[in-house]
Amino acid sequence: MDEVDVLVVGAGPAGSTVAYELARRGHSVRLIEEHGRVGWPVQCAGLVSSRVIDLAGSDRRVRTRVHGATVFGPGGSQVQFKAPEPRAFVIDRAGLDVDLADRAARAGAVIETGVTYEGRGTADGDREVALLRGPDRTDRTVAARLIVGADGVTSAVARAYRLRRPVEILPAFEAEFPESPGDPDQVEVDLGRQVAPGLFGWWIPDGSGGGRIGVAADADGVPARRYFERLLDRRAARTGRPARNPTAYLVSGIPIGTLPKCAGRRVLLVGDAAAQVKPLSGGGIFTGMRCAMIAAEVADQGLRANDLSAEVLAEYDRRWRSELGPEFSRALYLRRVFRRLTDPELESLVQALASAELTGTIVAFGDIDFPTHLARQLLRESPSLLRLVPKALGAWFAADPASMPDLEPGPRRK
Ligand SMILES: Cc1cc2nc3c(=O)[nH]c(=O)nc-3n(C[C@H](O)[C@H](O)[C@H](O)COP(=O)(O)OP(=O)(O)OC[C@H]3O[C@@H](n4cnc5c(N)ncnc54)[C@H](O)[C@@H]3O)c2cc1C
């Protein structure tokens, strides 16, 4: 049986980051990916902050830079804001995944594609045993001192180790269009129950005249594709030019909500497998990569001390939660409020945001990785926005996340 220090399952941004960080510290690392090619199929709109570019160590996969956004309300109102400097980057997501995996390989990680993690075998002394299936459908095992589950939203590692899954998985549907009208300098966000109940629809320029159009929504049994088609109709009515000839479709799920535990004896979860996704946008590249760095630091210490007990690895949970937990808690709370808004309320929200003072605040405080800072500032500045949220939210201004009032989702509003 093969033996390694660390088996990383899944060569997305989180898995390749852990693999790189541990390989460069001298541990023997195997990184397996179920698909035959790293980066494919693409399951992402590819909009990231400069933090991702920094973590990746290169901007060569940036397709274009985005300075702002236009947000469209369900009733036709809109608000636009633009910053003088780029606020987000549209990347070639498959290219980013390839670069991150290559970086891990250069640091010494062994990458195997077409290999699927199937489950947990009987532990062999101080090693976990992983059951793998190869490209030729042959089964084999590998023994590892540590297993890292970076295997995305449906994580087989989380299932094998009985680490609880997020309660909510938002269905998402996106397509890429080679020609798609829109301001190449900004993204578009569409709100409303008809196109994206509970989250939003988007248009993201691809840097070469086309765009990525998609939705993620509380689908409630309705296929996300239905919402996507409504979004296409809404955009076509607005721009006068229907989006045609999509070159690629993407269907996936976005995990929302944090897991009680992302670490156990000889196992860690990172990225989407750990639901480390921003609850207000569904973006998870920055958060997954950042948590992967923390996971690698904690794992490195455990490997060196030859102590990969649940207690030692729990330090990973403590550290990532202390860094990102307050933002996640506030965002989850705001999301629950947002989900309850009716279309007339969403329309009022967009109208309120359109006031000159607030667009200035959006430009000054907007940060796609930490959106609750902006939300808090907007609520402070605008009494009309405060009217849209429950009274309990007022307490949030001064409160820390732990003391936030517990709001159960109210009855669904159509
Ligand atoms: C429609 C959509 C649009 C999005 N847009 C954005 C965006 O604009 N910006 C942003 O930041 N985030 C976005 N996200 C979220 C982002 O794509 C994820 O958060 C991110 O990919 C998570 O990275 P990861 O490495 O944790 O997991 P993944 O990227 O999902 O990688 C997991 C890898 O594990 C592999 N795998 C799975 N199971 C196994 C197994 N059993 N054995 C071996 N390999 C396995 C998979 O093939 C995959 O390659 C979007 C998501 C969706 C669905």
User: Which residues are CB-contacts of 269 (< 8 A; sequence separation ≥ 6)?
Assistant: 148, 149, 150, 155, 157, 158, 163, 259, 262, 263
* Residue 14 Cβ < 6 Å to ligand 1: yes
Q: Which atom of ligand 1 is nearest to the CA of 271?
A: 26
What confidence score (pLDDT) does residue 399 get? Answer: 56
Instruction: Give me the mean pLDDT over the 256-278 stretch.
Output: 96
What band does 221 get if pLDDT is binned at 50, 70 and 90? confident
Task: Give the pLDDT confidence of 384-408 residue by residue, as tens digits.
Answer: 777 777 656 655 654 554 554 444 3
Instruction: Give me the mean pLDDT over the 57-80 stretch.
Output: 94
Rounded CA separation 15/169 (Å): 20
What confidence score (pLDDT) does residue 395 get? Answer: 57
What confidence score (pLDDT) does residue 391 get? Answer: 59
* Residue 48 Cβ < 6 Å to ligand 1: yes
What band does 43 get if pLDDT is binned at 50, 70 and 90? confident
| Res. 413: pLDDT tops 60 | no
Q: Which atom of ligand 1 is nearest to the CA of 38?
A: 49
E strands, 191-260, are: 200-205, 211-216, 248-256
Instruction: Give me the mean pLDDT over the 169-174 stretch.
Output: 94
For all residues of the chain together, what is the average pLDDT?
90
What confidence score (pLDDT) does residue 388 get? Answer: 74
- Residue 51, token pair as written in the block: 């933090």
pTM for the model stands at 0.94
Higher pLDDT, 221 or 95: 95
Q: Which atom of ligand 1 is nearest to the CA of 13?
A: 25
What band does 237 get if pLDDT is binned at 50, 70 and 90? very high
In the chain, what percentage of residues exceed pLDDT 70? 94
* Residue 148 Cβ < 6 Å to ligand 1: no
Task: Give the pLDDT confidence of 130-149 residue by residue, as tens digits.
Answer: 999 998 889 999 999 999 99
What confidence score (pLDDT) does residue 390 get? Answer: 66
What band does 226 get if pLDDT is binned at 50, 70 and 90? very high
Pocket test for ligand 1, best of 34, 63, 169, 176 (most atoms within 8 A of CB): 34
What confidence score (pLDDT) does residue 409 get? Answer: 34
Instruction: Give me the mean pLDDT over the 155-180 stretch.
Output: 91
Instruction: Give me the mean pLDDT over the 376-385 stretch.
Output: 81
Q: Which atom of ligand 1 is nearest to the CA of 272?
A: 26
* Residue 46 Cβ < 6 Å to ligand 1: yes
Do 268 and 289 touch, CB atoms closer than 8 A?
A: no
Q: Strand, coil or helix: what is 143?
A: strand
| Res. 410: pLDDT tops 50 | no
* Residue 8 Cβ < 6 Å to ligand 1: no
Cβ neighbour number for residue 46 with a 10 Å cutoff? 22
Between the CA of 247 and the centroid of ligand 1 the distance, in Å, is: 20
Q: What structural domains does the chain harbor?
A: 2-44+93-166+257-327 (3.50.50.60), 56-90+167-255 (3.30.9.10), 332-403 (no CATH)
Beta-bridged to residue 6, according to DSSP, are: 29, 146
- Distances in Å between the alpha carbon of 118 and those of 3, 136, 253, 347? 17, 14, 21, 47
Do 140 and 250 touch, CB atoms closer than 8 A?
A: no
In the chain, what percentage of residues exceed pLDDT 90? 73
- The DSSP-derived string for 161-191 is TTPPPPSEEEEEEEEEESS--S-TTEEEEE-
What confidence score (pLDDT) does residue 25 get? Answer: 98
Rounded CA separation 70/181 (Å): 14
* Residue 149 Cβ < 6 Å to ligand 1: no
What confidence score (pLDDT) does residue 321 get? Answer: 96
